[in-house]
Amino acid sequence: MGIKLDSDTISAMNVFSDVTSIPARDSLTEDDKIIFVVSQGQAGISIGKNGTKIKMLQEMLKKEVIVVEYSDDPVKLFENMIRPNKLLSGYVAKDQDNSKKLEVTVETKLSYSKIKLIKSLMQRYFNITNVNIR
């Protein structure tokens, strides 16, 4: 099952690629935030020196822009998503109904909209139905 993208998402990904010269693997929007998922090692390049590319994107898209490096490991992807906050611990477990859940402990509190984005990406990439953040 592949990821389906709507026309607004494709449009935002095209703007991201035009500004950063880095192709986005995926994008999700939640309230006033938009997250772009890039391949490993591409986040720094897409952010630009002193965040210039991100600032330009934020002005163009009228949203807070978050860039995250993709990982095949859900705990590592979660860690990438909460930067610069620190992940203290994390693991994937199975619920009683055999569905996957992610248990994590973070250094500081995360915003509600960021938590919604994290949960959406975990469901989208790893079929993790429950994310418990402490």
Q: Which domains does the chain have, with CATH numbers?
A: 7-69 (3.30.300.20), 74-133 (3.30.300.20)
State the pLDDT at residue 129.
87
d(C-alpha 109, C-alpha 125), whole Å: 23
Residue 1 has pLDDT above 80, yes or no: no
* Cβ partners under 8 Å of residue 16, min gap 6: 22, 24, 27, 36, 46, 57
Phi/psi region, residue 14 (left: phi>0; alpha: psi -120 to 50; beta: rest), is alpha
State the pLDDT at residue 113.
84
Q: Please write the tens of the pLDDT for every residue from 4-54.
A: 888 989 999 999 999 999 999 999 988 889 999 999 999 999 999 999 999
